[in-house]
Amino acid sequence: MHLTVTNSPFNEEQTEKINQILPTLTTEQKIWFSGYLTANQQAGIKENVDAPSQEVAEYLLNTNSPSKTREITILFGSETGNAQSLAESLETRLKEKEFTVKLSSLENFKPKDLKKVEDLFIISATHGEGDPPENAVSFHEFLHSRKAPKLTDLRFSVLSLGDASYEFFCQTGKDFDKRLEELGGERIAERIDCDLDFDEPAEEWMGNVLLKLTNSSNNDSTVSIPEIDAPDSEASPVYSRTNPYMAEILENLNLNGRGSNKETRHIELSLEDFNIPFEPGDCLGVYPKNDTALVDMVIEKLGWSPDETVSVNTQGKTLSIREAFTTHFEITRLTKPLLTKAADIFRNQALTTMVENEALLKTYLEGRDLLDLISDFPPQDLVPDSLVKILRKITAREYSISSSYKANPEEVHLTVGAVRYQTHGRNRSGVCSVQFAERLEPGDTVPVYLHHNPNFNFPFDGETPVIMVGPGTGVAPFRSYLEEKEELEVGGKTWLFFGEQHFTTDFLYQTEWQKWLKEGILSRMDLAFSRDTGEKIYVQQRILENSKDFYQWLKDGASLFVCGDEKKMAKDVHEAIIAVLEKEGNMSRDESEIYLNQMKKDKRYQRDVY
């Protein structure tokens, strides 16, 4: 509603100021402001009191003091741990407000208990081409089956995580949201679909959920402002996705030999004063910068001044166009939402026509970037502020950590393959990988954060055999694991399958594997160098060649870990394991799949694929 002097108690100057600020506020800021005004009125605070601190603002946003009788269930479907982390955060905030909360992964929740649930909140990622993550498959199937119960007493809300560059963006969350409504549930807060940069929309969703729950519990309850101690200026900062740590590069080496077709960088970063431990299997997120050469070409093509400033967030932060395109916005990937919005502001009929054709749009997205878009469909009278409003933030690139925290507590190592290719008449490169390869040297710093991966955890009991399949840079977490085993002096059999193109130039970390083999930390290693023989050999062939031993290790209780390319390698490896079970275990295809699914549930078959 647009305020005027006739429809509000404010004078002309006041309504002008309010109308200016309201459209710029996020949902969370509106909730905070509402809570602040309510608290002032109910607690009798004088109008000239200073605005509350951030801690008080958080309290006002989330606190209420009614008795909570309805039980809350939070379920998460997570592939890399993001959904689980958000679910745990919501659980913590609800429990702080004395709600009764149950938290579970979707695979551990008994579907028959669904009809007993009162308030349900689902946080789920989407895997691959619109599929549920592995730990959500069974629940997804049950919910969409005829066995699903009527849920007329249920209140619910869904938070979806996804990647807008995929055709079926956030499809799993959309499926859950639609189906719960079809079964009679009441949507207590609207679903929010999150792109890779999920922090702000996830916070908005949680704010909406908390507000709805506290309001529905007791609309008449009062809000009291607690006494909060002043923050400790000596306390160590807490580093996260939204507050990254500036890590100094200690080493940046090319692991490939002269003449290799590949460039794989071994990166060592300083974590002095980082103070957050990590485990083998965890990832490090790195916020990259776009190549300034590409940035300059985009700006030149648009005919803009690189020094003109634009607003880059809802808080009013401004940067020059060149700085914004370099550090803040994604310009190397196109998504369907971006092109749809671009068609509204470019005033280019050819673009509008293409966006309306689903097949043409899907084909165009492959391998193109912002420079392609503005070259192929020149915008008419486009101003900088209009364009940046439709661009998504540049997202962190997450890499499996290849070192042990216990062995090197003030360092973290990454194994990064430089991505270079040509398509649509231009040379292209990976934003982060080629930044490491070409533009970063020891002494430079990069913003990083730690991402725990609860779905890729190694055993350290000294008894469980471990099979590791990691061609190329997929070997990174296995280097971390063996380095930690060495540091802890933990026993247990280990078997590594590694593959690359050439033995002489591409045998990553060769001397380390040989040392660990000699010392018994690595029990066995099978290699597949695809370009050294007339017939290309890959790790899945090595698994099949050793099927008898491979099956015996599984019978002996081995845990199986696969890391690397999802579209080709991981699928081929999975098929090879199925073949081993069929041959050595005399199982049918269905029995083999059931066997592997049970291994997944027992956390004996874990994958980190991308």
φ/ψ region of 294 (left if φ > 0, alpha if ψ in -120 to 50, else beta) reads alpha
What sections of 349-467 are H helices per DSSP? 349-355, 358-365, 370-376, 384-388, 431-434
φ, ψ of residue 52 to 5 degrees: the values are -70, 160
Question: Nearest-CA neighbor of 141 among 604, 597, 606?
Answer: 597
DSSP type of residue 570: I
Residue 231 pLDDT level (bands cut at 50, 70, 90): very low
Angle at 15 between CA 12 and CA 19, to 5 degrees: 140
When mean pLDDT is compared across 18-32, 133-147, 194-208, the lowest value belongs to 18-32
Q: Over range 365-371, report the average pLDDT.
A: 95
Q: What percent of the chain has pLDDT over 90?
A: 76
Dist. CA 46–CA 44, nearest whole Å = 6
Residues in Cβ contact with 41 at an 8 Å cutoff, skipping those fewer than 6 apart:
none
DSSP type of residue 154: -
- Report yes or no: 413 and 482 within 8 Å, Cβ to Cβ: no
Looking at residue 238, what is its pLDDT? Answer: 84
- Per-chain mean pLDDT for the chain: 88
Looking at residue 5, what is its pLDDT? Answer: 43
Question: Nearest-CA neighbor of 103 among 85, 116, 115?
Answer: 85
Dist. CA 311–CA 324, nearest whole Å = 9
Please write the tens of the pLDDT for every residue from 464-480.
999 999 999 999 999 99
3-state helix, strand, coil in the chain (%, to 5): 40, 20, 40
More confident residue, 195 or 54: 195
Beta carbons within 10 angstroms of residue 48's beta carbon:
5
Q: Over range 71-90, report the average pLDDT.
A: 93
Dist. CA 601–CA 487, nearest whole Å = 29
Q: Given a cut of 60, is residue 226 above it in pLDDT? A: no
- Report yes or no: 161 and 77 within 8 Å, Cβ to Cβ: no
Residues in Cβ contact with 34 at an 8 Å cutoff, skipping those fewer than 6 apart:
none
Please write the tens of the pLDDT for every residue from 388-407.
999 999 999 999 999 999 99
Whole-number CA gyration radius for the chain = 27
Q: Over range 350-375, report the average pLDDT.
A: 95
Q: Tally the C-alpha atoms within 13 A of residue 343's C-alpha that lie toward its C-beta.
A: 15
Q: What percent of the chain has pLDDT over 70?
A: 86
Helix-helix angle 547-555:571-584, to 10 degrees: 80
Looking at residue 593, what is its pLDDT? Answer: 95
Dist. CA 183–CA 417, nearest whole Å = 47
Angle at 483 between CA 482 and CA 488, to 5 degrees: 95
Q: Sketch out the chain's domains with CATH numbers.
A: 1-229 (3.40.50.360), 292-388 (1.20.990.10), 466-609 (3.40.50.80)
Residue 177 pLDDT level (bands cut at 50, 70, 90): very high
For the chain, the straight-line distance linking the first and the last C-alpha, in angstroms and rounded, comes to 46
Looking at residue 102, what is its pLDDT? Answer: 95
Pairing relationship of beta strands 119-125 and 71-77 according to DSSP bridges: parallel
Residue 222 pLDDT level (bands cut at 50, 70, 90): very low
Q: Given a cut of 80, is residue 123 above it in pLDDT? A: yes
The DSSP line for 271-340 is: -TTT-----TT-EEEE-----HHHHHHHHHHHT--TT-EEE-STT--EEEHHHIIIIIB--S---HHHHH
Dist. CA 91–CA 414, nearest whole Å = 32
What distances in angstroms separate CA 532 from CA 471, 508, 526, one per listed residue?
15, 16, 15
Residue 566 pLDDT level (bands cut at 50, 70, 90): confident
Q: Given a cut of 90, is residue 21 above it in pLDDT? A: no
Looking at residue 17, what is its pLDDT? Answer: 64
Dist. CA 24–CA 389, nearest whole Å = 13
State pTM to two decimals: 0.81
The DSSP line for 41-78 is: HHHT--TTSPPPPHHHHHHHHH---S---SEEEEEEE-
Please write the tens of the pLDDT for every residue from 499-550.
999 999 999 999 999 999 999 999 999 999 999 988 899 999 999 999 999 9
- In DSSP terms, 127 is beta-bridged to 131
Question: Nearest-CA neighbor of 290 among 196, 162, 392?
Answer: 392
- In DSSP terms, 449 is beta-bridged to 285
Pairing relationship of beta strands 445-451 and 245-254 according to DSSP bridges: antiparallel
Q: Given a cut of 60, is residue 184 above it in pLDDT? A: yes
* Cα dihedral 157→163→165→166 (10° resolution): -70
Residue 253 pLDDT level (bands cut at 50, 70, 90): very high
Helix-helix angle 199-217:27-43, to 10 degrees: 40
Looking at residue 134, what is its pLDDT? Answer: 86
- Report yes or no: 124 and 132 within 8 Å, Cβ to Cβ: yes
Looking at residue 2, what is its pLDDT? Answer: 52
Q: Over range 561-583, report the average pLDDT.
A: 95
What sections of 109-189 are H helices per DSSP? 137-143, 171-182
Take residue 473 and report the two structure tokens written for it.
């840079």
Estimate to the nearest angstrom the gap between the alpha carbon of 69 and the chain centroid. 34
Q: Over range 472-498, report the average pLDDT.
A: 97
What distances in angstroms separate CA 579 from CA 24, 287, 464, 552, 603, one per listed residue?
58, 41, 23, 14, 21
Looking at residue 45, what is its pLDDT? Answer: 38
Q: Over range 292-304, report the average pLDDT.
A: 97
When mean pLDDT is compared across 63-77, 379-393, 406-420, 547-561, the lowest value belongs to 63-77
φ, ψ of residue 444 to 5 degrees: the values are -75, 160
